[in-house]
Structure 1
Amino acid sequence: MPFSPMPERLDTERFVLTPEEPSDVPWLAELFTARGAGPVTHDAAWQRMAAMHELTRRHGIGVYVLRPRDGTAPVGYVGLVVGRCTVEEPELAYELLPAAHGRGYATEAARVVLDAVLATGRDRVWATVRESNAASLRVLAKLGGFEVRRVTTDEHGRVLWHVREQDARAGSR
């Protein structure tokens, strides 16, 4: 079944969400480095951004940069990835710079992205979260409608596979 593409721009109260741009490379490298797996170069961040643009071009889904309406620097991204899932049933992904944690930004942006992806004709969206990631689990709880469907384990521990069905959307607000 063909799906309509995600919009180029989404808006929330505090953010304008748009695709990554070349000027985003420095803060993306900082964000990827903050994951703790070692430094990420600007070239590596550029390559990751190019791969995301290709996903968006080919499948109409991708990530959005959270650009504050006040013109300050971006704080992270929220969007849809294939990752552990599929184009038909993508995975909701969000990641913020450490200084932006705890302010409701991920929830605010994820809500509008989730509404937009369900409007493309998709019936199911996944979110895989490590059992130890309390902040991401809180985001999913605030969004509503997500339920744990399965649990897997990898070299870093347990991963909870949350799913949100299209008809769960009505009860999420």
Structure 2
Amino acid sequence: MDAYLETERLVLRRFTADDADLLIELDSDPAVMRYLTGGRPTAPQVVREQQLPRILAGYERWDGVLGLFAAHEKDGGAFIGWFHCRPEPEGPLDEVELGYRLRQAAWGRGYATEGSRALLAKAFTELGVRLVWAQTMSVNHGSRTIMEKLRMTLTDTVPLPADMEAIEGSEHGGVRYEITKEQWEAGSPGQAGRSGREVDSPVR
């Protein structure tokens, strides 16, 4: 496995054109998709014809150093989901979004914090990133816990996309968290936030 990034328990790698089934299976779990689509699975043809080509194009666009990366357990190699660290389509390269989506089998094991923390370190020490941000629904307390563990700061409330209005809890809107390189450098990597069970994923 050609690693993009390794942590104590995980290997992150670039997706390939043969990985559609992994993404389809991940997005077929209503619990995983709860705060993204209200539990509705992503259609396989959307994954094959839109999402995966977009992921692969991102590696070309950002020289393979930013984008969305498949995550596997080191022990046994099981696919557990993905993490991303990428700028907005037309945004500056030194401001990137952090996100993840994990299979239910990986919830509650600290993987979301572990993978995200490693991506923060890579972004700030190797990739010239100045600011990392993340968004989720206000009611997604599992992901908000992760952001607090990463020492990200709640900076704003944000409206949700129109296609999320039917999701339970959408009336409370979304939240945005940020951390700058200076804030990251000033803190201890092991420090952060309140404890809580890790579930699901940021909005995007």
TM-score (norm 2): 0.73
Query: Which segment is superposed worse, 96-105 or 29-38?
Result: 29-38
Q: Residue in 1 aligned with 2:53?
A: 50
**Higher RCO (CA-CA < 8 Å; seq separation 6+):** 2
Match of 2:27, SS state, is helix
Cα deviation for residue 86 of structure 1 reads: 2.9
Cα deviation for residue 25 of structure 1 reads: 1.7
- For each residue in 1:51-96, what CA deviation from the matched residue of structure 2 results, as whole angstroms up to 9, or x when unmatched? 0121221124101211111233210111223459834312101010
Unmatched 5+ stretches in structure 2 = 34-38, 190-204
Q: Residue in 2 aligned with 1:161?
A: 176
Percent identity (aligned): 27
Could you tell me whether the CA contact under 8 Å between 2:86 and 2:96 is conserved in 1? yes
Match of 1:37, SS state, is coil
Residue type at the aligned position of 1:44: V
Residue type at the aligned position of 1:50: P
Could you tell me whether the CA contact under 8 Å between 2:5 and 2:11 is conserved in 1? yes
Q: How does 1:104-115 map onto structure 2 within 5 Å?
A: 104-115=110-121
Could you tell me whether the CA contact under 8 Å between 2:97 and 2:134 is conserved in 1? yes
Match of 1:122, SS state, is coil
Q: How does 1:11-160 map onto structure 2 within 5 Å?
A: 11-34=6-29, 35=33, 36-41=39-44, 43-46=45-48, 47-59=50-62, 60-82=65-87, 86-88=91-93, 89-119=95-125, 120-144=127-151, 146-154=152-160, 155=165, 156-157=170-171, 158-160=173-175
Q: Figure out how many residues of one structure are paired with residues of the other and give that number.
A: 165
Cα deviation for residue 49 of structure 1 reads: 1.7
Could you tell me whether the CA contact under 8 Å between 2:86 and 2:98 is conserved in 1? yes
Could you tell me whether the CA contact under 8 Å between 2:16 and 2:56 is conserved in 1? no
Aligned equivalents of 1:39 and 1:61: distance in 2?
Answer: 24
Aligned equivalents of 2:145 and 2:177: distance in 1?
Answer: 12
- For each residue in 1:147-172, what CA deviation from the matched residue of structure 2 results, as whole angstroms up to 9, or x when unmatched? 11111122334111111100111204
Could you tell me whether the CA contact under 8 Å between 1:143 and 1:172 is conserved in 2? no
- For each residue in 1:115-169, what CA deviation from the matched residue of structure 2 results, as whole angstroms up to 9, or x when unmatched? 111221111011011111111111111112x111111122334111111100111
The 1:82/1:9 distance shift into structure 2, 3 A limit, reads same
Residue type at the aligned position of 1:24: D
